[in-house]
Structure 1
Amino acid sequence: MLYIFVFISFIFSEQLLKGYVYDSLKNPIKDVNIEVVGSSDGTISNNDGFFIIKLNKKETLKFSHIAYYDKEISNLDNLSNLSVFLENKDVSIDRIVVTSTKSARHIKDTPVLTHVISNREIENASYVGVKDMLEIAMPNVQMVASNHGDDRVKLQGLDNKYLTFLVDGDRVTGEYAGNLDFSMLNLSNVDRIEVIEGAMSTLYGSSAVGGVINVITKKNTSPFWLNINLLSDEPLIKSISLDSGVNFANFYYNLFIVNKKSEGYDLTPQSEFSKTLDEHSDLTFQHQIRYKLNSKNNFEFLYKDYASDISKYMQVFDQSSFSNIVVFDAPLNRYTDYVKKIKYNFKKSSDESLNIRFFNERYSKLYYYPYYFSNDFIEDGTEFKQGSLNHQEFNLEYDIKYDLHKFLVGFEYIDQKYSAYNIYDNLGEFLHESIFSGQNETKIYKSSSLYFHSQFSLQNKNQIAFGLRFYDSGDDFLIDFLPSKNSKVLSSVSFLIKGDSGFNHRLTYSSGYRNPSIKELYYEWTDHEPNIYGNPDLKSTKNNYLSLSLDKRSFLSDFSIDFYTNSISNMISTEYTELGLEYKNYNDVSINGINVHYFRKINKNSNLKFVYNFTDASSSSNEILEGISKHAFRLNLSQKIIDKLRLVVNVKYLGEKNNFNQEQDWIGANSIKVLEDYFLTDLYFIVPEKNIDVNFGIKNIFNYKDSSRFGDFSPDILSSYDPGRRFFIQLEFKFNNKYD
């Protein structure tokens, strides 16, 4: 009888418990494992975070999820309605970074301050180029007109040739006069962008004087996938991209195609045919294959084919029709870029690996003559190669981890060849002279490095890292490719101190360098107006970078403030002389600044992000100082309106800056133009669905255009080249996506 009573009591003590599982912002969490401790009973929360489970009120429930800390609840007296809140682990892939140490680490544990532009930010921004996206992390991005006929991009006071751009950790080298061709960097297949502001040459070699920007592409794990992205942001850009591939067993193939084009626009009335942005288009095909031979051996092959063209027009008098007609303004610039990459990874264990990489890139500039075989402006043209940079790079790295110590040793060898050509008409007369004094000639520049990086995790969870790089260039090799006993030496040291309150303190010292480009060394271009002369005696640029930062990161908010000073010697720039433009070194360049990053989840529907840059530069060269705003900030506010609709407001501010005209300075005329400060505001909506995302809205809603575009002094040199208020729409079709 006693056993029957106990059994009946147990049966009636079991009841159904209903409840919800939320995160700290009361967002429902799906797929939470809910189990009765000590038994095999359990369930999983649904999309609304709801669950129902049968248990005895004296039993204990355990809640677990990969992205949240486990939680156990006992003494469940109220069995009718339970609300459970789980604490986020902060393990989002956006928080795992690789650039600062060349190894995967949580962003809070890296000894060098790193900023990440996440995939969500990229998808919500409605941009197609990396340059525009960089303003999310570095709002002091400036377009600066160049005496060479090509625009330069400055980031926080430095030409982009003083920063290293990577795609999946591999250097991007397509350039003109040392500056990067940004149109080659597309966003459609980008997962995230990691940004480090500061010298990183001990790890990444030449050009990492002001920082490193690493574009990490998406790695789809679905057996098959297809993404199509369409953007209309006229008159600035129209684009279409396709990202597709297969992934079976040990074989991975990815095809990426993107086509961008613009009809251009003109902000100034001075010339009917000279545009602020010329008509242009570009097309990229990229193939990537990864093959996993076994658990230890992995291979990767990549081939990219890129081509772009620019169209300009002029008006001429046509004798046959006895009227003015519009024709192409020859020659027209065209660019091609071919990349081949082979990577091999031998992973002996989770703590030891060997990486070998061979990289070849051939970037060419061509001139197209549309009427080469015609005398009456009927298009019958051909193109000639004006110059070509052939960049070959070999890299070997070995890294190993012992307990709390991680050590990396690497070797890098770079062989660059720049070939320049004369161009003749069909009668054998000069159309265009080679940039190397009118000679068909190839110039060669080689460099090699040995580098070491060591990182310690201390017992108190603090981190310390230091690096060394021995590098040679030119003809200073011991045996053709190894660094010699006279190698130049770089060093870096970073210290991360984790405070009890959650604040991290970082102190970083690093030295960097940039070797002069082949053009800067050997230019002798008398066919250009003005003439341009290189300098074979140019020294490598060197710098000493010191920063102190404070940051605190959590699921709800991110905050960091970084104070830095960058002292640069032998900086390479041009000076106007009686011969024309000549390259030279400048020794007294100093850039000091403050960077502030703040992100806050205001509530479950609202996010706020604010980035501010203060940049103070000094130099005896006005050419170096041009295009630098002391103050710049970016504000982004995201508000969920209803379940499938989000409103985004972007505000960008750039303070006033100077433009410097070297030719005017040489003749003693007014050479400095002050460019006004300005605000740009975008407002748009995001509609996410399972297989399609829609972004639409208005950019530059207050229709800002620089009023000086109507002036008499250099009206084409503007504070902003934004075309004004415009409507845009972006559609992304997604099928069968699943990413690492």
Structure 2
Amino acid sequence: MIKNIILPLALLATAQAAMAQADPELDDVQLDSIFRHYELEEVVVTGTRTPKFLKDTPIQTRVITSRDIARTDATNVQDLLQQELPGVEFSYSMNQQTHLNFAGFGGQGILFLVDGERLAGESMDDVDFSRLLVSGVERIEIVKGASSALYGSSATGGVVNIITKDATRPWSLNLNGRYAKHNDQRYGGMFTLRSKHWSNAFSANYHNKDNYNVTSAPNPVTRVISTIYGERTVDFKDKLTWRPSDRLSVGARAGYFFRETTRTVNLPERYRDFSGGLRLDWLITKDDNLQANYSFDQYDKSDYQQLRHLDIRDYSNVQNTFRLLYNHSFGETAMLTAGADYMHDYLYNTYLAGDAREQDCYDVFAQYDWNITDKLEAVAAVRYDYFSDRQNSQFTPKLNLRYKPNRRLVLRAGYGMGFRAPSLKERYYNFDMAGIWIIEGNEHLKAEKSHNFTLSAEYSRANCSLAVSAYYNNVINKISTSAPYFKSIEDKLPYLPYTNLANYRVFGADVSMQARWQNGISARLSYAHTKERLPKDKDGNTINNQYIPARAHSLNANVDYDHQFTKRYGIYVSLNGRLLSGTENVEFKNYYDVSEGTVKVEYPAYTTWKLSLTQRVGKAVSITTALDNLLNYRPKFYYLNAPLTDGITLQVGVSIDVDKLF
């Protein structure tokens, strides 16, 4: 598998070098404009909380554009991240709730934001990825590494910021739909209006996928899945903006999400989210601006008893957040950013001690961005967080450097401290998990801390670019579940307590190469190497991990061809591949009887490919046909951490921009 990954890297590097040597008179200025249009002139905000060109940001940022999203034909962020980023893999709990592993960090260590705002609720310590749709998304910015100095708790491994579209034309209306096997249906629409002082963007989406059965080979070593659960989701979002002057804008947003999954006959599980917010942007002077935000998010879970027509809520997480953010520019030399947040966090759960818990969270932070010379930039930040529950507090610093010796090469280095405060669930939970064990909260948990070091280099020439980065994370007091135990001989079920583990370390390196030619062909090859030193408990014992560890090697490959034959007809062809090395994990032989002990489960290397063709008819209509899992890969055993695919899938979709029909 390693040879299969290294060989394409070498071939692409050789091809790029040969191409550069073949035409020394290549018009760099003309070809550079291709990258400027698609990549370098992209404005990002996540790394520093201030707008910067992608090529100038001191914190390495990966951007997935709306063009990339259209190419992948993904339904939600889970599908998109796996197609676009090496080192990303999703595994599943015993009830098939989704768990993320991104370069050695689980979902609880990667902070997901929508337009810069946190999300309430969790499922198995991860956000509900089904609610993160890609319809109506302008771009996604990914920052790897500890980002707690700007974003606080849960940003120990990085930040994923999903930025939604605004209205840009007087009016627009897009209608789209897609169909695939297992009755996989997706329908959506987005309607926007814009005038001199007002704009509005409204989106609605519906998705349905049925349950289906899969078959494993005989003699599995641990539990396998026989039914893969589908879901039904509905999503509405609206974003309104008022601009009374060039210096002032006021925004309001609201959203509703609903998901239903049937794992037990006549008892479907329901998940709902209600969100809203207000935002004010005030350009006080040409050097000073102020942002004020209020955000509300409520995520509920319930069981619907169909025979009795009762919808019984057993979980609710409500977050109310207020934020002030101030920026002062010292001309072209420096910028000072200062901010403060207050969040009230409320958690109701029938399995909590006392049914409901709440806490207040306060923070202040400051960042200084200094252009020391034309070639050297330094960014330093510090943050203080306070949590009322058990009166926890934490300082987190960071320092990043960017050195640009010439217009083609950018070097970056950084240190960041991350932390994750214990959640109310981790402190106070007492939950009988399907008769397997009782998940037990721990009021004495310490905050999880991490130290992150990164180095990176980016080089671009003509129509090619190369990015290389390396990182090291040392996580202290990692919060996890420990080994199950019985409190007394009378206990029928073991207890699975939350605990702080000994040090956990992750080393890694990423390589990304891309090229774009004027004939419409573009290619990208991205490789990630991750090495985990798996966590141990305080006694030095390896912890049995319910979820799959990071695979050591992963590779994403993409080749596109875009051509407009006439004014009325064009095509876009895309081939996306994903290659992952094998790994192994120690798991219980029988999750319903842990006394049977553990077994080492092997997850072999595998590859999946997706081929799609988009035909553009006129300016308004796009028809997409795709073959997902092109090589018809199916795992031998459908273990909890195996990819849940039953082979090749044909997908057909259409998108109509109604406003462009006229």
What's 1:538 paired with? 445
Query: C-alpha separation between the residues in 1 aligned to 2:564 and 2:652?
Result: 20
Cα deviation, residue 141, structure 1? 2.1
What's 1:354 paired with? 290
Cα deviation, residue 602, structure 1? 4.4
In 1, are the aligned partners of 2:298 and 2:318 still within 8 Å (CA)?
Answer: yes
Q: Are residues 462 and 527 of structure 1, via their aligned partners in 2, closer, same or farther at CA, if it must alter by over 3 Å? A: closer
Give the AA of the match of 1:732: S
Cα deviation, residue 88, structure 1? 5.8
Cα deviation, residue 139, structure 1? 2.1
What's 1:388 paired with? 316
Cα deviation, residue 302, structure 1? 0.6
Say which of 631, 634, 650 aligns to 1:702. 631
What's 2:622 paired with? 693
Higher relative contact order (CA 8 A, sep 6+): 2
What's 2:361 paired with? 447
In 2, are the aligned partners of 1:677 and 1:719 still within 8 Å (CA)?
Answer: no
What's 1:656 paired with? 582
Give the AA of the match of 1:112: I
Give the AA of the match of 1:509: Y
Pairing 1:457–2:371 present: yes
Matches within 5 A, 1:303-702: 303-313=254-264, 328=265, 330-372=266-308, 381-403=309-331, 404-420=333-349, 434-437=350-353, 441-475=355-389, 487-500=393-406, 502-526=408-432, 528-529=434-435, 530-553=437-460, 556-575=463-482, 576-578=484-486, 579-618=494-533, 619-620=535-536, 621-623=543-545, 626-640=548-562, 643=565, 644-662=570-588, 666-667=594-595, 669-689=597-617, 690-702=619-631
In 2, are the aligned partners of 1:137 and 1:195 still within 8 Å (CA)?
Answer: no
Pairing 1:282–2:233 present: yes
Give the AA of the match of 2:307: Y
Cα deviation, residue 123, structure 1? 0.8
In 2, are the aligned partners of 1:189 and 1:243 still within 8 Å (CA)?
Answer: yes
Give the AA of the match of 2:372: L
In 1, are the aligned partners of 2:82 and 2:89 still within 8 Å (CA)?
Answer: no
- Could you list the per-position Cα deviations for residues 288-338 of structure 1 after superposition, in whole angstroms to 9, with x for gaps in the alignment? 11111222221111110111101235xxxxxxxxxxxxxx2x532100000
Matches within 5 A, 1:109-124: 109-124=56-71
In 2, are the aligned partners of 1:352 and 1:401 still within 8 Å (CA)?
Answer: yes
Query: C-alpha separation between the residues in 2 aligned to 1:655 and 1:173?
Result: 34
What's 2:656 paired with? 733
Pairing 1:255–2:184 present: no
DSSP 3-state at the match of 1:230: strand
Q: Are residues 501 and 283 of structure 1, via their aligned partners in 2, closer, same or farther at CA, if it must alter by over 3 Å? A: closer
Query: C-alpha separation between the residues in 2 aligned to 1:236 and 1:101?
Result: 43
In 2, are the aligned partners of 1:660 and 1:673 still within 8 Å (CA)?
Answer: yes
Cα deviation, residue 134, structure 1? 1.3
Give the AA of the match of 1:723: D
DSSP 3-state at the match of 1:108: helix
Cα deviation, residue 445, structure 1? 2.4
Cα RMSD (Å): 2.6
In 1, are the aligned partners of 2:96 and 2:229 still within 8 Å (CA)?
Answer: no
Say which of 54, 59, 71 aligns to 1:107. 54
DSSP 3-state at the match of 1:407: strand
TM-score by length of 2: 0.86
Greater gyration radius: 1
Cα deviation, residue 625, structure 1? 7.3
Q: Are residues 517 and 475 of structure 1, via their aligned partners in 2, closer, same or farther at CA, if it must alter by over 3 Å? A: closer
Cα deviation, residue 236, structure 1? 7.7
TM-score by length of 1: 0.78
In 1, are the aligned partners of 2:588 and 2:597 still within 8 Å (CA)?
Answer: no
Give the AA of the match of 2:403: I
Query: C-alpha separation between the residues in 1 aligned to 2:101 and 2:628?
Result: 23
Cα deviation, residue 108, structure 1? 1.2
Matches within 5 A, 1:179-198: 179-198=126-145
Cα deviation, residue 732, structure 1? 1.2
In 2, are the aligned partners of 1:117 and 1:136 still within 8 Å (CA)?
Answer: no
DSSP 3-state at the match of 1:241: strand
Query: C-alpha separation between the residues in 2 aligned to 1:656 and 1:193?
Result: 29
Q: Are residues 688 and 417 of structure 1, via their aligned partners in 2, closer, same or farther at CA, if it must alter by over 3 Å? A: same
In 1, are the aligned partners of 2:46 and 2:141 still within 8 Å (CA)?
Answer: yes
Cα deviation, residue 476, structure 1? 6.5
DSSP 3-state at the match of 2:373: coil
DSSP 3-state at the match of 2:149: helix
Pairing 1:143–2:98 present: no
- Could you list the per-position Cα deviations for residues 167-203 of structure 1 after superposition, in whole angstroms to 9, with x for gaps in the alignment? 1222223322431100001111111111111111111
Cα deviation, residue 237, structure 1? 3.3
Give the AA of the match of 2:620: N
In 2, are the aligned partners of 1:542 and 1:571 still within 8 Å (CA)?
Answer: yes
- Could you list the per-position Cα deviations for residues 19-61 of structure 1 after superposition, in whole angstroms to 9, with x for gaps in the alignment? xxxxxx9xxxxxxxxxxxxxxxxxxxxxxxxxxxxxxxxxxxx
In 1, are the aligned partners of 2:101 and 2:107 still within 8 Å (CA)?
Answer: yes
Q: Are residues 180 and 555 of structure 1, via their aligned partners in 2, closer, same or farther at CA, if it must alter by over 3 Å? A: farther
DSSP 3-state at the match of 1:208: coil
Give the AA of the match of 2:198: F
Give the AA of the match of 1:401: S
Query: C-alpha separation between the residues in 1 aligned to 2:215 and 2:641?
Result: 10
- Could you list the per-position Cα deviations for residues 709-736 of structure 1 after superposition, in whole angstroms to 9, with x for gaps in the alignment? 4xxxxxx435311231111112111134
In 1, are the aligned partners of 2:87 and 2:102 still within 8 Å (CA)?
Answer: yes
Query: C-alpha separation between the residues in 1 aligned to 2:196 and 2:546?
Result: 53
Cα deviation, residue 701, structure 1? 1.5
Pairing 1:291–2:242 present: yes
Give the AA of the match of 1:731: V
- Over the matched positions of the two proteins, sequence identity in percent amounts to 21
Give the AA of the match of 1:345: D
Q: Are residues 161 and 237 of structure 1, via their aligned partners in 2, closer, same or farther at CA, if it must alter by over 3 Å? A: farther
- Mind listing any 5+ residue stretches in structure 2 that lack a counterpart? 1-18, 20-27, 219-223, 487-493, 537-542
DSSP 3-state at the match of 2:346: strand
DSSP 3-state at the match of 2:446: coil
Q: Are residues 680 and 556 of structure 1, via their aligned partners in 2, closer, same or farther at CA, if it must alter by over 3 Å? A: same
- Could you list the per-position Cα deviations for residues 547-567 of structure 1 after superposition, in whole angstroms to 9, with x for gaps in the alignment? 111112456223211110010
- Could you list the per-position Cα deviations for residues 652-711 of structure 1 after superposition, in whole angstroms to 9, with x for gaps in the alignment? 1111123443575953523331111101111121223410122212111211000124xx
Pairing 1:90–2:18 present: no
Q: Are residues 269 and 517 of structure 1, via their aligned partners in 2, closer, same or farther at CA, if it must alter by over 3 Å? A: same
Q: Are residues 270 and 606 of structure 1, via their aligned partners in 2, closer, same or farther at CA, if it must alter by over 3 Å? A: closer
Higher relative helix content: 2
Query: C-alpha separation between the residues in 2 aligned to 1:670 and 1:254?
Result: 52
Q: Are residues 445 and 636 of structure 1, via their aligned partners in 2, closer, same or farther at CA, if it must alter by over 3 Å? A: same
Q: Are residues 722 and 351 of structure 1, via their aligned partners in 2, closer, same or farther at CA, if it must alter by over 3 Å? A: farther
Matches within 5 A, 1:205-284: 205-235=152-182, 237-268=184-215, 276-284=227-235
Give the AA of the match of 1:591: V
Q: Are residues 527 and 138 of structure 1, via their aligned partners in 2, closer, same or farther at CA, if it must alter by over 3 Å? A: closer
